[in-house]
Chain A
């Protein structure tokens, strides 16, 4: 499936908003996709200015009416209700949702969690500054769990643009889970060549994984996101928690 619609919920924090938009437009460029910025909280006027600046920088025309994907376009609108409600509703018609790294803003954090947990869409966490290039090496965290498989299948349009894909396991895959060989076979059917390898666990699995991907010079890290309860924000503990605030490379997450 082609990527035609990218949703970027903004919290009104200028630097973060610009980073998210920059990543959104970098993602939109190769697909000629539309970027919808969702303004919630903070200074909506500043957010709109950020959208206009970043759209101009990316050569994307501002256009409210939907048209067939071809050249990148953009539009913005204010969230009705909370940012989380609006982002979850809008994500139903998006192929991917982009957030800046989580900081202190509670509304954006809530929206991130809601979209990740409820929307069944991949979430791209932009790195600081929002630089994103869809080329070169890409890494996939592979532990054989269903969340990793969901992330992998959702990431195919992006992985197809890589010159090399590493399937990185942290330690051994648990018995009964899906082997890295099966994941490589699946990608091969999509025309993507992937190489499985294992790194020894050090610190948390998330830190080990992102360090390995970074050492490879990966442009993107794809991984499953885990949570045990939908009720509280502390759900995103363990593997993914630290990445949400300080990932050094763009991360595509899927719950």
Chain B
């Protein structure tokens, strides 16, 4: 099942460009469609409930302001998309068609931001977001969690504009189910890449997770790979993984998200958030 549909929620901020360019890089090997989604709170929800009746003109002014701000953000995102379509040679189409090469389209929608993203993510092969907690729409942080933990779709977190296709792909491996799910989610990209590196990571003093099952899986898929082992300080798995992926010259890092429950993740230092926010390359996450 090659990747056919990639969802990119956009918000009109500077982070849009990184997310769109990263989605194009992921779409190109498969001729996939990149669907941009600019979603905004219903303007009626912006009217405050103050306990006294507001003048109709006041309500109208508030709603108008919200609508104008939303449309301006959508226009900025659309402009960013059109510029990238030209520089990266991706067709901007009204209605995507199967088998006609990489394309993109733009949709503006109104409603609860995270819920709307979640519903559209459910019928996408991949979701791409800009770097978390940097410049994104605040609701994207909720969407980040929803997509990974509830909708359970793979999430590609952008980091700058990628230079080209994902050729060297690093796999963060701790033996857990989340990491295995991330590998499965990344399989099309792994097959389209040149070489994968399994980075088997374990806290100092602990044995690294076995890699045999993963190696067999990659072999069956025809993915060329090598294996490196790396130990890390307690709570330092994400930093160690990012460091090793950079040393390997990886242009994409694949890792499990929230392998531990949310509480222990918080106690261990939020490995997933660290990965999403601090990596110096795009990171593909799955739960």
Residue numbers in B under 8 Å from A95 (CB-CB): 184
Q: For the complex, is B98 an interface residue (Cβ under 8 Å from A)?
A: yes
Are A93 and B33 in touch, CB under 8 angstroms? no
Contact of A13 with B by CB under 8 A: no
Given known A1-B1, A146-B151, contact A69–B222 (CB-CB < 8 A): yes
Check if A127 is an interface residue, CB within 8 A of chain B. Answer: no
A146 to B187, CA, bound (A): 22
Q: Are A189 and B96 in contact (CB under 8 A)?
A: yes
B152 at the interface (CB under 8 A from A): yes
In the complex, which residues of chain A have a beta carbon less than 8 angstroms from the beta carbon of B2?
A: 1
Residues of B within 8 A of A90 (CB): 213
A4-B180 contact given A90-B213, A183-B123, A190-B1, CB 8 Å threshold: no
Q: Is B53 an interface residue (CB 8 A)?
A: no
- Nearest CB of A to B232, in Å: 22
The answer to whether B5 touches A92 (Cβ under 8 A) is no
CA distance A139 to B277 in the complex (A): 41
Contact B5 A93, beta carbon cutoff 8 Å: no
Is A156 interfacial (CB-CB < 8 Å)?
A: yes
Query: Do B177 and A119 touch across chains, with their CB atoms under 8 A apart?
Result: yes
CB-based contact B33/A189 at 8 Å: yes
Taking CB atoms, residues of chain A closer than 8 Å to B98 are 188-191
**Chain A residues whose C-beta falls within 8 Å of the C-beta of B219 in the assembled complex:** 66-68
Decide yes or no whether A203 CB sits under 8 A from chain B: no
Question: Which of A118, A189, A190 is packed against the most chain B CB atoms within 10 Å?
Answer: A189
Q: B75: CB under 8 A from chain A?
A: no
In the complex, what residue of chain A is closest to B189 when comparing beta carbons?
Answer: A1
> Residue B109 at the A interface, CB < 8 A?
no
Interface size class of A (residues with CB under 8 A): 35 or more
B142 at the interface (CB under 8 A from A): no
Report the minimum CB–CB distance from A69 to chain B (whole Å). Answer: 5
Check B239 for interface membership: any CB of A closer than 8 A. no
In the complex, chain B residues 55-97 whose Cβ is within 8 Å of any chain A Cβ: 96
Asked if B217 contacts A5 (CB within 8 A), the reply is: yes
Using A120-B181, A153-B125 as known contacts, say yes or no to A146 and B1 having CB atoms under 8 A apart: no
C-alpha gap A182/B37 in the complex (Å): 14
Q: Mark A33-71, 1 if CB is under 8 A from B, else 0.
A: 110000000000000000000000000000000111100
- Complex Cα–Cα for A191 and B5 (A): 12
Q: Produce 1/0 per residue, A64-99, CB < 8 A to B.
A: 001111000000000000000000011011010000
Q: 13 pairs across A/B with beta carbons < 8 Å?
A: A1-B221, A2-B1, A5-B220, A67-B220, A92-B177, A92-B180, A93-B214, A120-B177, A120-B181, A157-B1, A190-B1, A190-B4, A190-B98
With A150-B122, A185-B123 given, can you name 19 additional A-B contacts, CB distance below 8 Å? Answer: A2-B1, A2-B221, A4-B220, A5-B220, A67-B219, A67-B220, A68-B221, A90-B213, A93-B217, A160-B1, A178-B119, A178-B122, A178-B123, A182-B123, A183-B123, A186-B123, A188-B98, A189-B96, A189-B98
A residues apposed to B, CB below 8 Å: 1-2, 4-5, 33-34, 66-69, 89-90, 92-93, 95, 118-121, 146, 149-150, 152-153, 156-157, 160, 176-178, 182-183, 185-186, 188-191
- Interface of B toward A, CB cutoff 8 Å: 1-2, 4-5, 32-33, 96, 98-99, 115, 119-120, 122-125, 150-153, 177, 180-181, 184, 187-188, 191, 213-217, 219-222
User: Top 10 nearest A-B pairs by Cβ distance?
Assistant: A92-B180, A66-B216, A149-B122, A4-B220, A93-B217, A186-B123, A189-B4, A156-B1, A191-B98, A66-B219
